[in-house]
Structure 1
Amino acid sequence: MTAGALGLFAAASPAPAQEVRLPVLEAGIGGGGGWLPDYPAAGQNHVQGIGFPYVIYRGEILRSDDQGVRGRVYRSGGVGIDLSLGGAFPSSSSKNDARRGMPDLDWQGEVGPALRLTLWRDPAAPRRVNLELPVRAVFSSDLTSVHYRGVVFSPELAFEQYGLGFPGARLRAGIGPIVATGRLMDYFYRVEPRFVRPDRPAFDAEGGYLGTRLQFSYRVPVTDRLSVVGGGRVENFSGATNSDSPLFRRDWNLSLALGVAFSFYRSEATVASSADPLD
């Protein structure tokens, strides 16, 4: 996801921290679930869950960790360019009143570059405010084929703090608008003539403003191997480009999620992780 910022304070670096060495490679199992809207501006939420194996790799360029999978393409002062990823659960149209009789929404994945600007950093503690500017291509898959669904731009202003409440804990909160191309909007809001019914007229979606998202997450390492994360998201779609779609049902969506991860393998090779625990 994205991150953000509020005031420009140059050359502020965190106070020296005791060096912590972490395994270069970890492997484990994770799982989680949440109460999630079926799609943006959907009128219904459903409980979704997933279990999965995972790998954490703390390399100089490629990293997969508690912040997700990132390609650290460029770093200089308060500016960075990452390869960022995102995704969404599938949604069954048979369980959604607005989409009943229409094709299901498949698993979605997003990938693309993200420019990150650190606008403020506390010189005495590991916390900062970022502006993240990700542009991602969106794909959907039913696990038998993959389809390109357009592009999404979701700039975000975010606050991050490390070590809040518990050693190693990470808090993140961010807010920002979402803009999408017509192809992605069609995936969510288009109604083809063959799916028309008395309360669902035909509709051809357009690219533009999708909504505004406020989200937060809080991760706590319970032990060296076990961690728990909780989070939530509030989205507002007032004034959205496709608010006239019969599939557009609510101006507000709420998401809540909880997850757990357990690492059963940790490499003997380690890497220093103290200069900036937020990176």
Structure 2
Amino acid sequence: MLVLPAATQMAAAAEKPLWELGIGGGFLLMPDYRGSDKTRAYLLPFPYAVYRGGIFRLEDKRISARLFATDRVTLDASGYGAVPVRSGDNDARAGMPDLDATFEFGPAIRIKLLDSKENKYRLNVALPVRAVFSTDFSSVRYEGFVFSPRLNFEKGDVIPGTGVYFGVSAGPMIANRGYHEYFYTVEPVYATVSRPAYAPGGGYSGSTMTVGLGKKYKQFIFNTFVSADYLKGAAFEDSPLVKRKTSWMGGFSITWVFLKSKNMVKDESPY
């Protein structure tokens, strides 16, 4: 997965640069797919860019636009991704076609429920719908869609005086049949004694909870996170490719911000 789902970058200052640029690197430890018993480590470089405009914003790896002057409701566009999987390196998928890299993109309505600058916390609900595509880098195929409502809580200076910020996000996933088929179908031609043919339907796709910590220090931003996927009751739970009902992922990242705008703007975040 190419995007680190780490805690939101927060700071206590009332004003921040209009834009920032930087580069970073991250370490990820993650399963081949949700429900896989094969875990791999990845080192991933990434660009860092922030724009804090009055109407449009690029922040926390999301492009957002204000819908109302109160800023209680925003419209986001965000993406997500997963690395390719070689079936020859995964016992559950041995003899099956490889899984191509996937990427997701789509809009989200974000509703702010609580926002306290004095106590440095924020609570919101995100309602993202994303189309899912797979690619072997020579062609792109539509696989389905995912709806992932999330309750997000963020707290700045969670350990008083340290500047450490905390974030937690939780919610269910709902996906159509096409999305589940891509990861969990076993066609009859690939069935074995220990891996019977299987075709999942659409519907509930498990639940996810992510907890992250971060801190800004001079020109650097440090983030770490752990995430758990709970698959019990999922529409594909009985797939022979599901070996674990709980999937874990974790990682950390370091970002170097090397360029900032001299123009400062008011940031409405309490952090």
Match of residue 221 from structure 1: 216
Per-residue CA deviation, residues 193-218 of structure 1 (Å, 9 max, x unaligned), is: 23222221221121111101111122
- What amino acid is the match of 1:72? A
Aligned mates of 1:54, 1:116 — CA distance in 2? 22
- Show the 5 A alignment for 1:185-204: 185-204=180-199
Aligned pairs for 1:117-132 within 5 A: 117-122=111-116, 124-132=118-126
Moved more, 25-34 or 228-237: 25-34
Instruction: Report the Cα offset of residue 100 of structure 1.
Output: 1.7
Deviation at residue 157 of structure 1 after TM alignment: 1.4
User: Given the alignment of the two structures, is residue 170 of structure 1 paired with residue 165 of structure 2, yes or no?
Assistant: yes
Shift of 1:151: 0.6
**For residue 8 of structure 2, what is the aligned residue in structure 1?**
none
Give 1:138's match in structure 2, choosing from 113, 132, 135. Answer: 132
Tell me if 1:46 matches 2:20. no
The unaligned stretches of length 5 or more in structure 2 are: 6-11
Structure 1 residue 183 displacement after superposition: 0.6
Give the 4+ runs in structure 1 shifted more than 4 A: 166-169
| Gap change, CA 1:92 and 1:112, over 3 Å in 2 | same
Quickly say closer, same or farther: Cα 1:145–1:75, change in 2 above 3 A: farther
Report how far residue 258 of structure 1 moved: 0.8
Partner Cα separation in structure 2 for residue 29 and residue 122 of structure 1: 31
- Structure 1 55/143 Cα, relative in aligned 2: closer, same or farther at 3 Å? farther
Deviation by residue 1:133-178 (Cα, 9 ceiling, x = unmatched): 1111112223332221111011111211133336664321011111
- In 1, Cα distance between the equivalents of 2:53 and 2:73? 19
The corresponding residue for 2:177 is 182
Cα distance, 1:88–1:74 mapped onto 2, change above 3 Å: farther
CA contact (8 A) 2:118 2:270 kept: no
Distance in 2, Cα, partners of 1:262 & 1:103: 39
RMSD: 2.3
| 1:272 aligned onto 2:245 | no
* Structure 2 length-normalised TM: 0.86
2:153–2:168 Cα contact (<8 Å) kept = yes
Q: State yes or no: 1:212 paired with 2:216.
A: no
CA distance in 1, matches of 2:44, 2:136: 15
AA matched with 1:274: D
Q: Give 1:70's aligned residue.
A: 63
**Counterparts in 2 of 1:38 and 1:132: CA distance versus 1, 3 Å:** same
| Aligned-partner Cα distance in 2 for 1:18–1:233 | 29
Q: Structure 1 vs Structure 2: percent identity of aligned residues?
A: 35
TM-score relative to the length of structure 1: 0.84
